[in-house]
Amino acid sequence: MRYPFCTDLSDKALGITLFQDFECEVDVSLIWDNGEPVLEVNAVYVDGANLSRGEGVSMNLASKLAGLAESNDALLTRVIEDSETPLRRAA
């Protein structure tokens, strides 16, 4: 399922923030590892484009964003809540 994701992109070696509030969408799966919920990012999208299908810089950005999303507790909580909410049928 796709979720909006916003994060700062920083370069730790340089000690600088490259992009503040970088917005994208992440397609995630909720998996369980020894009873613990874990996010797995399947794809990262910017303006509808899957970054992993782009050139090297796009693929590197996708990898960085996937790592940030997978370690984001707020996103994990939202995915867990959504997975526990039954789908409502139209009347």
SS (H, E, C) 4-18: EEEEEEEECCCCEEE
Enumerate long-range contacts of 50-56, CB under 8 Å, 24 or more apart: 51/24
Model confidence pLDDT, tens digit, residues 29-55: 999 999 999 999 999 999 999 999 999
Give residues with Cβ within 8 angstroms of 5, minimum separation 6. 23, 24, 25, 26, 65, 68, 69, 72, 75
pLDDT score, position 84:
84
pTM: 0.88
Q: What is the mean pLDDT of residues 73-87?
A: 88
pLDDT score, position 86:
64
pLDDT score, position 87:
54
